[in-house]
A and B are shown apart, each in its own frame.
Chain A
Amino acid sequence: MLLIDCPWCGPRDDEEFHYGGEAHILRPRDAAALSDEAFADYLFMQQNPKGPHLERWSHNHGCRRWFNMLRNTATNEILEIYPMGEKPKTEAGQAAYAANWRRETAAEKNALSGEGS
């Protein structure tokens, strides 16, 4: 059972929230260019760490807004909450982001192709 500090509503019980799974999965721009294996990386493969995990949550029974969260799956400690569309700012969050194998996948490179960043 978690006490989640919603950025808009303050600390609320986790029953009010909806878990949206792993955060920062980018949809490939040109999916037809990817192999079946590379598309499966995007569609089915999961980050499933025992430790810090970047994930999406929505305050479903409250303000209904989405946000990102860094939570330790071994202890349920909530380490950071940050807005959608942004990257984590804490050291642990940045480490979890960088350590994700997704950063190296063809699917993510495909998704970022043509972007300035």
Chain B
Amino acid sequence: MSEPNLPFSILNEDGSCPERYRALLNDADLLAIHDMILFSRHFDRRMMMLQRQGRLGFYMTSTGEESTMIGATFCLKPDDPIFLSYREIGCLLWRKVDLRLIMNQLIGNSRDLCKGRQMPIHFCFREWGFPSVSSPVGTQLPHACGYAYAARELATGQVCLAFLGEGTASEGDFHTALNFAGVFRVPCIYLIRNNGYAISTPEAAQTAAKSLAARAAGYGMPGLQVDGNDLLALVNAMRWAVARARDGEGPTLIEAMTYRMGAHSTADDPSAYRSEEETARWAKVDNLARLEHHVRWRGLYDEARKQEALARHEETVRALIADSECWPPPPLDSLFEDVFEHANAHLLEQREEYLRFLAWKARRRAGEMAEAARG
């Protein structure tokens, strides 16, 4: 397979683009994506605040990388499965996953589809094509290959997309998955968000190679490196990869060069390992800023529209938080369910023993209170 001659970047510094690429996205789609990135960033900001207030256990922002995830999702059909790494909330937002369900997962309340069993951000929304996120990085990559193999066998026409960070490209599962995907020629796209850092470890400490996309040659598939902060370039590359996969021509590896503008997670402080100058340099080429230049260049956007959007997004998030905070934690029984289809004798006994303890504890508390009342 030959590498296509796709441009690394399309958007110019002033927001303009070559005329021939303008049709990549029509005005309505462009505005919708821009608005969703704006929302995603606002959502991140509010969730960080919530975490700092102690109302959310943990959070991970995707600030700086929104074009990569939303642009990639835009290029797929709604039923194409997306295997998330963890920093891709934009994919859920673009597919219109019920925002209340997202909030319920973050809080882990009784309305969480996953029954409060995972940390925030470890999403799973089958109805919207999102298999379950886990913390060990890279494990989702062979799943995407297997799913794509099955999709071809079942003739569903689906194409799989799997996200990973550049740090994850050091894991064995990356090698294994891409090797399998190449051998079985599955309809699957592996998309690396190269955001420069795996927690504190810079890319240069992950690999001596100049490009992760170049590894594709070793797996018998094309590899593309694109400007992840350039929505048009990302969409251009994704569309090419999706068309190949849909036509039965096999997998593609895409490396989107971007920058993690926030911390790794709420438990991380990037000032310990990277300079403000570096962050400021990247802020100038932030994907949202560049996209805003572009929509303004097309004459689709102005300050009034921006203010209107921000106010709308704040109202949406505020209502969401209020709704999800009013639900209790999941019921205790859910702790013992779904390990297997039916709880086995061991689990039932452990549950019974724990309920016995709770009853004893309640009696003990009641006794203490009665004694305190008497005394």
Q: Do A and B come from one complex?
A: no
Interface residues of A (CB under 8 A from B): none
Q: Interface residues, chain B, CB within 8 Å of chain A?
A: none
